[in-house]
Amino acid sequence: MALILAPAHPPNSPARLHALIPAAGIGSRAGTAGPKQYELLDGRLLVLHTLSAFTRVRRLASVLVVVAPGDQRLAAGEGYDVVPCGGATRAASVAAGLDELARRGASGHDWVLVHDAARCLVQPEWIEALIAACEHDTVGGLLAQPLTDTLKAEEGGRVQATLPRGGKWLAQTPQMFRLDTLRQALAQAGDAVTDEASAIEAMGLRPMLVAASGQNIKVTWPEDFALAQAVLRSRQP
Ligand code: C5P
């Protein structure tokens, strides 16, 4: 797996695929002393479980993790590199990571799969399913799951309305788009977007929804660590 992409990818050659893993957040909702991506799950940093799935996907030309400036808790390893260019928001971290991919020689036509470091239960097969669904598409897409719970809008701690759940999906990651399109989309959308697809949608494009597993949770709340640990243990032979 190539980590340094120079010399620049020649024009007209087939698009390559890169994974970009933003891991520069502080995880304030997780109730942990430090950032949640560095909590131990089964004796291993949470982010290393995420990386273990990506480094097993043979189609990926590179895997790049974005950490906060000055953060030395994660070193480059087998099949992945680490760059300390994280920003104040997830969107800023992703935008900086895309710039770094381009600097390393990725072509604007290459696909980038952006994945939250905190979704540590992701499996190589799910990443491969997203690639298979999107690589011949003109826009790209994301893993997502149809909503099963009833959806409420809140106001002042009480239900303001029940919203129809039909046709509603929960967005997960990875989200897969062309490097140039995504850079342009994020530059236009600004820092407030919480996923890549919403920036792409703001350009008038319609990302593909690729049905995913409910196990692909983003570890967010204190109780999510025990859940993630239980799933990891259930997968052990
Ligand atoms: O905070 P949240 O769980 O939504 O973050 C999703 C992912 O984005 C996490 O992996 C987190 O580390 C990353 N992130 C980042 N830079 C930020 C904020 C979040 O890379 N400034």
DSSP classification of residue 36: G
Residue 142 bridge partners (DSSP): 175, 209
pLDDT of residue 4: 45
Q: Are 218 and 118 in contact (CB under 8 A)?
A: yes
Q: Rg (Cα) of the chain, in Å, rounded?
A: 18
Q: Is the pTM of this model over 0.85?
A: yes
pLDDT band at residue 10, thresholds of 50, 70 and 90? Answer: low
pLDDT for the residue 2: 45
| 37, 68 Cβ separation under 8 angstroms | no
Predicted local distance difference test score (pLDDT) of residue 113: 99
Q: Is the pLDDT of residue 49 over 90?
A: yes
Q: Which of 152, 122, 107, 151 shows the shortest CA–CA distance to 46?
A: 122
Q: Is residue 4 part of a domain?
A: no
Q: Is residue 78 part of a domain?
A: yes
Q: How many CB atoms lie within 10 A of CB 119?
A: 23
The pairing of strands 208-211 and 151-155 is: unpaired
Please count the structural domains in the chain.
Answer: 1
Mean pLDDT of 137-158: 97
Q: State whether the beta carbon of 173 lies less than 6 angstroms from ligand 1.
A: no
pLDDT tens column, 33-43: 899 999 999 99
Return the pLDDT at 145: 98
- Tell me the per-residue pLDDT of 75-111, one tens digit each, with 9 for 90 and over: 999 999 999 999 999 999 999 999 999 999 999 999 9
Give me ligand 1 centre to Cα 7, in Å.
Answer: 31
Residue 57 domain-assigned (yes or no)? yes
Establish if 59 belongs to a structural domain.
yes
pLDDT of residue 7: 47
Measured CA to CA, the distance from residue 237 to residue 233 in angstroms comes to 9
pLDDT of residue 13: 80
pLDDT score of 77: 97
On whether residue 12 sits in a domain, the answer given is no
For a pocket test of ligand 1, which of 21, 28, 82, 90 has the largest count of ligand atoms closer than 8 A to its C-beta?
90
**Domain containing 177 — which CATH number?**
3.90.550.10
- Number of other CB atoms surrounding residue 78 within 10 Å: 8
* Residue 232 pLDDT greater than 70, yes or no: yes
- Domain range for 208 is 17-234
Ligand 1 centre distance from Cα of residue 25 (Å): 4
Instruction: Answer yes or no: is 110 within a domain.
Output: yes
Give pLDDT, residue 33.
86
**In-domain check, residue 5:** no
- Confidence check: pLDDT of 180 > 80: yes
Residue 11 has pLDDT above 90, yes or no: no
Does the residue 11 lie in any domain? no
Angle (CA) 77 172 79, round 5°: 15
- From the alpha carbon of 36, which atom of ligand 1 is closest? 12
